[in-house]
């Protein structure tokens, strides 16, 4: 006789978003979905039973901003970095991808690019996955409809506002070649304006999809970066993270955010996402833009790295990222905005940059020569739980910031909560277990981390994806069973 549940997890303290309390309960799973939540469910009712006594049960986190496949082959990167995701309590990995150098190293039509993205992803992720795609070439503007209506990828980005005349890593890159731009194309504000207009047009044409048709911006302006970088470099006084922060000043972010607001408003675009806000200046610009252009809804995102590190951190070039790690004052201000509910979701911007690529071989401490970006999805839930609760954030609010809010924003309506009918994505976390970050313990292929030495409390013990155990006490179990998530789901 078949039993009512495939899996029963007993005696957990369940942390749900949008609730004020944490209740001790049992969780029954059937066919990959939560089937029943309640106390004292009989062990005979399930094929497999876990005892979660003493553990908190969170919904699986949605890391809505990653860059799987940026520096290594997509299939290979998906294998290792989705293991890292499971380690960090992440059960849905959403990658911002684009044509051009890195990723698939191909330009041209999305009708060729997109099936290849799916082909390389299939069977390689240990957690569920989705993509956001950034229009780079003008020819891709007409294909936004295809992405939104056929591919299930209605959020467009990340729009890299600083790429126009400035490289990903600083001054050295040749942008046109690097983005594989056709001769007549420019990657500039006029192109970004067209993206907004096309997205707004799609919102009008597809009212049911309209809430999910969004444009996501990386807000920094190339002209200011170029000038400040030259100034800081020529002066030769600052080094390390302080140099990088000063070379890419917060008001460059603020200016870019104001431009996004004006463009979105003029286009009639209803939703934009302001990605990885790093500073007081940038946050205040976003709030000013909200007030100035009320018809535009601004999604406000913060990256874990900007909450965990600042310019006094000891990580040197390993912490080089765009936008930069900011001052301790900015970091504290961001936490205030997490605590007061202004920040809507927290992500990692995970971009595993192998050690050999990250720093220049002959000058490893040179911040100007290092590559930007690093991973961190393996620390998402433990680090935000630990730092957040220490500062007064409730575990339920952690579940909103990491699970419910990003799932809602990006159309994953069957994820982000633990309730009957939702995908059985679940993380068991020991709130008392102490940790100190050591890259040797990470399942990511990155080999180093700017977070090395940080310590805290609250360790992920088990991660389940749709009822399947994928991560168990430090190791991956089973096979890569991640499924592509077409949105809205
Ligand atoms: Zn990013």
Residue 103 belongs to some domain of the structure: yes
pLDDT at 58 over 70: yes
Whether this model's pTM surpasses 0.75: yes
Band of residue 172 on the pLDDT scale cut at 50, 70, 90: very low
In a domain, 42, yes or no: no
Selected residue with higher pLDDT from 141 and 176: 141
pLDDT of residue 170: 54
Q: In this predicted model, what pLDDT tens digit does every residue of 288-309 receive, in sequence order?
A: 999 999 999 999 999 999 999 9
- Tally the residues of the chain: 489
Q: Report the CATH number that the domain containing residue 291 is assigned in CATH.
A: 3.20.20.140
- The reply to whether 182 falls in a domain is yes
- What does each C-alpha distance from 279 to 74, 255, 307, 402, 430 come to in angstroms? 32, 13, 10, 20, 32
Question: Total structural domains in the chain?
Answer: 1
Residue with tokens 């294909």: 143
- What is the whole-number distance in angstroms between the Cα of residue 213 and the centre of ligand 1? 18
Please, which residues have CB within 8 angstroms of residue 183's CB and are 6 or more apart in sequence? none
Using CA atoms, how far apart are residues 287 and 3, in angstroms rounded to an integer?
52
Provide the pLDDT for residue 166: 57
- Summarised one tens digit per residue, pLDDT across range 242-268 is 999 999 999 999 999 999 999 999 999
Q: Ligand 1 centroid to 155 CA: how many Å? A: 14
Cβ-Cβ contacts under 8 Å for 157 (sequence gap 6 or more): 96, 132, 134, 214, 215, 216, 217, 218, 273, 275
Q: Give 274 Cα–ligand 1 centroid separation in angstroms.
A: 11
Residue 50 in this model has a pLDDT that exceeds 50:
yes
CA dihedral 121, 126, 132, 135 (to 10 degrees): -30
* pLDDT tens digits for range 188-223: 999 999 999 999 999 999 999 999 999 999 999 999
97 alpha carbon – ligand 1 mean position (Å): 9
Q: Each residue of 402-440: pLDDT tens digit?
A: 999 999 999 999 999 999 999 999 999 999 999 999 999
For residue 66, the CA-to-ligand 1 centroid distance in Å is: 6
- pLDDT bin (cut points 50, 70, 90) of residue 356 is confident
Q: 195 alpha carbon to ligand 1 midpoint, in Å?
A: 18
Q: Check if the beta carbon of residue 217 is closer than 8 Å to that of residue 299.
A: no
Determine, yes or no, domain membership for 149: yes
Query: What does DSSP assign to residue 60?
Result: P
What would the pLDDT profile of 91-113 be if each residue is shown by its tens digit?
999 999 999 999 999 999 999 99
Residue 55 in domain: no
CA of 293 to the centre of ligand 1 (A): 25
| Distance in Å, CA 8 to ligand 1 centroid | 37
**Percent of the chain residues topping a pLDDT of 70:** 98
pLDDT band, very low/low/confident/very high, at 378 (cuts 50, 70, 90)? very high
For residue 45, report the distance from its CA to the centre of ligand 1, in Å: 44
Give me the chain's average pLDDT, please: 96
The CA 485 to ligand 1 mean position distance, Å, reads 19
Q: What is the mean pLDDT of residues 122-133?
A: 98
Q: Is the pLDDT of residue 174 over 90?
A: no
Task: Give dist(CA 35, CA 15) in Å, integer.
Answer: 17
| Mean pLDDT, residues 22-39 | 98
Q: How far is the CA of 304 from the centre of ligand 1 (A)?
A: 12
Q: Report how far ligand 1's centroid is from the alpha carbon of 419 (Å).
A: 31
Whether 173 has a pLDDT exceeding 70, the answer reads no
Alpha carbon of 149 to ligand 1 centroid (Å): 24
Task: Examine the pLDDT at 281 and tell me if it is beyond 80.
Answer: yes
Is the residue at 427 inside a domain? Answer: no
Q: What is the DSSP string of 75-130?
A: HHHHHHHHHHHHHTTEEEEEEEE-SBTTTT-B-S-HHHHHHHHHHHHTTT-SSEEE
Q: Is the pLDDT of residue 325 over 50?
A: yes
Examine residue 220 and state whether it is found in any structural domain, yes or no: yes
Across the strands, what pairs with 29? 7, 34
Domain that includes residue 323, residue range: 61-414
Beta strands in 369-425, from DSSP E residues, in sequence order: none
Quickly list DSSP for 434-464: EEE--GGG--SS----TTTT-EEEEEEEEEE
Tokens of 326: 């900011």
> 257 CA distance to ligand 1 centroid (A)?
16
Q: What is the pLDDT of residues 328-347, one digit of tens each?
A: 999 999 999 999 999 999 99
Query: Which has the closest alpha carbon to 441: 430, 454, 429, 432?
Result: 454
Instruction: Calculate how far, in angstroms, residue 216's C-alpha sits from the geometric centre of ligand 1.
Output: 10
Find the 15 Cα to ligand 1 centroid distance in Å. Answer: 28
Confidence of residue 165 (pLDDT cuts 50, 70, 90): low
Near ion ligand 1, which residues have CB within 5 Å? 349
**Predicted confidence band of residue 88 (pLDDT cuts 50, 70, 90):** very high
Instruction: Answer whether residue 185 is part of any domain.
Output: yes
């Amino acid at each position: 006789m078949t039993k009512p549940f495939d899996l029963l997890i007993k005696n957990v303290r369940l942390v749900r978003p949008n609730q004020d309390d944490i209740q001790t309960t049992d969780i029954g799973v059937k066919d990959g979905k939560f089937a029943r939540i309640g106390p004292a469910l009989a062990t005979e009712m399930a094929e497999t039973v876990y005892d979660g006594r003493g553990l908190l049960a969170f919904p699986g986190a949605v890391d809505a901003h990653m860059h799987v496949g940026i520096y290594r082959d997509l299939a290979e990167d998906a294998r290792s970095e989705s293991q890292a995701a499971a380690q960090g309590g992440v059960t849905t990995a959403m990658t911002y991808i684009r044509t051009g150098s890195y990723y698939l190293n191909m330009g041209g039509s999305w009708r060729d690019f997109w099936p290849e993205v799916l082909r390389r992803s299939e069977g390689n992720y240990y957690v569920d996955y989705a993509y956001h795609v950034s229009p780079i070439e003008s020819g891709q503007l007409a294909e936004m409809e295809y992405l939104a209506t056929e591919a299930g990828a209605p959020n467009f980005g990340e729009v890299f506002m600083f790429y126009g005349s400035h490289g990903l890593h600083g001054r050295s890159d040749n942008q046109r070649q690097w983005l594989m731009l056709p001769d007549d194309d420019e990657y500039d504000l006029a192109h970004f304006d067209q993206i907004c207009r096309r997205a707004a047009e799609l919102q009008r044409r597809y009212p049911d999809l309209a809430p999910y048709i969004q444009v996501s911006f990386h807000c920094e302006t190339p002209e200011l970066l170029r000038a400040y970088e030259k100034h800081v470099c020529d002066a030769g006084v600052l080094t390390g993270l302080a140099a990088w922060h000063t070379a890419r000043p917060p008001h460059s972010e603020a200016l870019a955010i104001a431009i996004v607001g004006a463009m979105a408003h003029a286009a009639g675009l209803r939703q934009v996402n302001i990605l990885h806000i790093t500073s007081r200046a940038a946050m205040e610009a976003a709030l000013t833009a909200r007030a100035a252009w009320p018809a535009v809804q601004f999604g406000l995102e913060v990256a874990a790295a900007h909450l965990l590190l600042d310019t006094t951190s000891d990580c040197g070039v390993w912490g080089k990222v765009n936008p930069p790690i900011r001052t301790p004052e900015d970091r504290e201000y961001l936490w205030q905005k997490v605590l007061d509910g202004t920040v809507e979701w927290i992500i990692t911007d995970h971009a595993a940059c192998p050690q050999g690529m990250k720093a220049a071989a002959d000058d490893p401490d040179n911040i100007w020569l290092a590559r930007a970006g690093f991973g961190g999805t393996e620390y998402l839930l433990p680090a935000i739980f630990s730092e957040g609760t220490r500062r007064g954030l409730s575990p339920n609010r952690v579940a909103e910031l990491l699970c419910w809010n990003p799932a809602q924003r990006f159309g994953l309506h069957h994820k982000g909560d633990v309730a009957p009918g939702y995908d059985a994505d679940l993380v068991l976390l020991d709130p008392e277990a102490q940790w100190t970050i050591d890259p040797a313990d990470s399942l990511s292929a990155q080999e180093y981390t700017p977070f090395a030495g940080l310590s805290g409390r609250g360790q992920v013990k088990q991660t389940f994806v749709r009822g399947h155990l994928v991560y168990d006490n430090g190791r991956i179990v089973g096979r890569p069973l991640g499924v592509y998530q077409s949105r809205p789901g």
